Structure 1
């Protein structure tokens, strides 16, 4: 499988980089304010651009550094440029082109990266004038947008998709018998120790110091006839606690490893409990559509009261991932490894299962009969049949009429019905709704003259009956 492409948004401070980041990722992860220099660290997110998933990076502004903090932020921006497959260079139409932007443009040209010049804040302005002024940077075609109002993002979306590297052919079909497994988690959760235990050798450096692993470590191991392709990734901190550029670099590689894996083990430190960052990582795995196994490591280091508290935190903070199996183990001593491999193999088997159209349709019809979809404007969606549509995530394609009116709550009900019937443990389920074609559409009036007269007489008869009533 090919790596997930990386797109970096760069420019001087306060041109709207974070606003564009939030618009493309459809989140509010980047802090937006009407003042320069708000973004200090790099902020990363997952976005779908022109139908393709990408890692998007919001960077600090490139300008004349006035202190050590700004110098560090600009250093991080340049590292993001070096890592990116494509750079979105943003300028401000209202402020016009300023001298420092000529320097940024020259630096980008020297780097040899693919660059898209975006002119933001063009709402209410003459876009032709803004584009003409932007041409003096010599960056080729410019794209006028208004990120805060989402104007022009469709065209920008298509342009980014055209300039991204072509997606490599997936080799998943050739290695269906193998399991691609990624280990992710916060620093010092025990991922490298777990990798070494699975391999039976000291393949990864494991120390009590957080952040020992920098680059993903790949390894292959066979257990009971099953081949595992393992990837140990660097620990992913909360953004505000991350200070080193190398560490943020490693975060991108860890997210790419998740996209390339089939199943992900989220390794949590039982001694610290379940944190907000653990929940964020679980959400990213589910969003990517990968199988999920929750691993509570260092289980031997806590007493029974703490164990009950940790399991309660799992139920509370990871409620959205309740379909994922939970495995308790000690990577240091090797206890619980058998349960872990059994859970991973089960998730893989479930996720790769081929469910028949008849079986999926039966479950759909039973669910609809038990709780029909709610009516909207006296019209109720008609769900007719279902069939499989892909793996990891497992896709169920449902055909019917007025499917666009199926509310989110009812979709969750259908997902739970399929999950319960087929024991889809650890596997995200996505529903794809498609409108059924009308078999009579386009046929026109093909009645014979005799049939037409008969229909007219029947209508007259019905009208007379109604008048007598």
Structure 2
């Protein structure tokens, strides 16, 4: 693997998910922002620290039932198996509980580097907060605050430094692949390998009617109509409770890395089974990767007219949050609809790398504001001054203005749709970032003002007396 895997373990409510969000610099996007998304454990790309890694968030363990094996047999066991290092979170305010000792003994069995993190240590002397946890016998604890970020970056850098360096062989291999890189992802046995064979017109990938035939990411370069492609066939991702063989436990990590290194992701859905929670899980990962997205509903030829209507209705109702992705109804086995995928892949790739001038962006922004003004914030109108392109794949628009940090999410969605329509950003996520414009008068000293009404009255009386004296002099 090109990136180390770091697992988070600990009792419930010790701050694992908060730390996960801190390390991935997200707001629990995989779960919270996409309706219907359920996951047994969460994977994310670490963005805090000196080097890249993959972080795995696991469910909380009570450790209070008789025997720890039933608790560990599922998600945590799989996470510890595939991890290169373990972050063991404890609650610094509660101190050591029996459950912490049970979990510590179990984690020790996996012979992986373990770092104890004493969470919720904000406002406490760190030496005092971590003193009690030395007795766990897992080395020198580090006191942190996952909510406020105290010591978190220092802790993750310390863990990464203890791991042996890994050569980025997979990254080099991906960079060497020609043309548009397309990652084909989906649950086991939805027809990914069959689809790739149909797309390239030959049996290049083993396709067998048994889940989990593909064990690793396979790169298939080929040319079609003068265009170069590299298809990436990833191992099928199945429910964690169904994972038994150790080699398959790495499949979801491989899928994450393949998506991050691709230009376009094709998510294959089994039309005969409809949209499942696992499909939504993979969809969340694809969106998080920021790559262009195409949805391929396979095995369409096996459905009755009634089943097709049901599937269409389900897709429309449950996938409203990803309306920008084109849906293709295909049969990988017989080839119907597969040819249309190439046209969409090209459109998505072009959109993801399409450069837009600053003048065009500002013209569209100005028109969008004219048609729909930003809301009032504390009685003041939000002013959007100008915009420029901040990056590609996915397109990233930087909008400058005042009070932009207070804009509601609904207005951001409105701007996203306006930009998408104006520049034909088809099939790719569009990110909008705001930057507050500095007030040019900020910090300047204002003219001294009369402190109270009495001073104003006194000043007026003196002015009147002065005028009266002047008038008397003129009369004399």
Is TM (by shorter chain) over 0.5? yes
Matching of residue 184 in structure 1 with residue 182 in structure 2: no
Structure 2 match to 1:306 = 307
The offset of 1:357, in angstroms, is 0.6
Q: Deviations over 1:78-133 (max 9, x none)?
A: 6534533442123454353876677567657x54x4x4321246589765334223
Using structure 2 for the length normalisation, give the TM-score.
Answer: 0.76
Secondary structure class of the residue paired with 1:400: strand
Structure 2 match to 1:292 = 293
Between 292-301 and 273-282, the greater mean CA deviation after superposition? 273-282
Between 320-329 and 177-186, the greater mean CA deviation after superposition? 177-186
Structure 1 match to 2:235 = 234
Structure 1 match to 2:141 = 142
The offset of 1:281, in angstroms, is 2.3
The offset of 1:282, in angstroms, is 2.0
In structure 2, the CA distance between the partners of 1:222 and 1:65, relative to structure 1 (3 Å rule), is farther
- Partner Cα separation in structure 2 for residue 180 and residue 320 of structure 1: 25
- Partner Cα separation in structure 2 for residue 132 and residue 424 of structure 1: 55
In structure 2, the CA distance between the partners of 1:118 and 1:398, relative to structure 1 (3 Å rule), is same
Retained in 2: the 8 A contact 1:8–1:59? no
Secondary structure class of the residue paired with 1:159: helix
In structure 2, the CA distance between the partners of 1:103 and 1:304, relative to structure 1 (3 Å rule), is closer
- Partner Cα separation in structure 2 for residue 133 and residue 249 of structure 1: 36
Between 210-219 and 257-266, the greater mean CA deviation after superposition? 210-219
Matching of residue 385 in structure 1 with residue 386 in structure 2: yes
- Partner Cα separation in structure 1 for residue 298 and residue 174 of structure 2: 32
In structure 2, the CA distance between the partners of 1:310 and 1:101, relative to structure 1 (3 Å rule), is closer
CA RMSD of the aligned region, Å? 4.0
Retained in 2: the 8 A contact 1:389–1:395? yes
- Partner Cα separation in structure 2 for residue 29 and residue 414 of structure 1: 23
Structure 2 match to 1:204 = 205
Structure 2 match to 1:455 = none
Structure 1 match to 2:405 = 404
Matches within 5 A, 1:216-295: 216-239=217-240, 246-295=247-296
- Partner Cα separation in structure 1 for residue 15 and residue 438 of structure 2: 43
Retained in 2: the 8 A contact 1:258–1:264? yes
Matches within 5 A, 1:415-430: 415-430=416-431
- Partner Cα separation in structure 2 for residue 382 and residue 173 of structure 1: 43
- Partner Cα separation in structure 2 for residue 292 and residue 29 of structure 1: 16
The offset of 1:350, in angstroms, is 1.0
Q: Deviations over 1:199-228 (max 9, x none)?
A: 333333222222322322222122222222
Structure 2 match to 1:84 = 83
Higher radius of gyration, 1 or 2: 2
- Partner Cα separation in structure 2 for residue 297 and residue 83 of structure 1: 31
- Partner Cα separation in structure 2 for residue 235 and residue 308 of structure 1: 27
Retained in 2: the 8 A contact 1:22–1:28? no
Structure 2 match to 1:37 = none
- Partner Cα separation in structure 2 for residue 176 and residue 359 of structure 1: 34
Structure 2 match to 1:351 = 352
Structure 2 match to 1:46 = 44
Q: Deviations over 1:142-177 (max 9, x none)?
A: 223466xx3x54422453256448997988997797
- Partner Cα separation in structure 1 for residue 70 and residue 103 of structure 2: 21
- Partner Cα separation in structure 2 for residue 247 and residue 444 of structure 1: 67
Secondary structure class of the residue paired with 2:385: strand
Give unmatched runs, 5+ long, in structure 2.
32-38, 447-459, 461-476
Matching of residue 159 in structure 1 with residue 160 in structure 2: no
In structure 2, the CA distance between the partners of 1:162 and 1:437, relative to structure 1 (3 Å rule), is farther
In structure 2, the CA distance between the partners of 1:62 and 1:81, relative to structure 1 (3 Å rule), is farther
Structure 1 match to 2:371 = 370
Between 426-435 and 79-88, the greater mean CA deviation after superposition? 79-88
Structure 2 match to 1:96 = 96
Q: Deviations over 1:285-339 (max 9, x none)?
A: 1222110001011122223333233222221111111111112221112222220
Secondary structure class of the residue paired with 1:392: coil
Using structure 1 for the length normalisation, give the TM-score.
Answer: 0.77
In structure 2, the CA distance between the partners of 1:359 and 1:254, relative to structure 1 (3 Å rule), is same
Secondary structure class of the residue paired with 1:266: strand
The offset of 1:262, in angstroms, is 1.7
Structure 2 match to 1:131 = 130
- Partner Cα separation in structure 1 for residue 13 and residue 374 of structure 2: 46
Matching of residue 56 in structure 1 with residue 56 in structure 2: yes
Structure 2 match to 1:16 = 14
In structure 2, the CA distance between the partners of 1:224 and 1:154, relative to structure 1 (3 Å rule), is farther
In structure 2, the CA distance between the partners of 1:125 and 1:422, relative to structure 1 (3 Å rule), is closer
- Partner Cα separation in structure 2 for residue 247 and residue 326 of structure 1: 29
Retained in 2: the 8 A contact 1:143–1:156? no
Q: Deviations over 1:324-360 (max 9, x none)?
A: 1112221112222220011101100111111111111
- Partner Cα separation in structure 1 for residue 62 and residue 179 of structure 2: 45
Retained in 1: the 8 A contact 2:9–2:16? no
Retained in 2: the 8 A contact 1:263–1:291? yes
In structure 2, the CA distance between the partners of 1:161 and 1:222, relative to structure 1 (3 Å rule), is farther
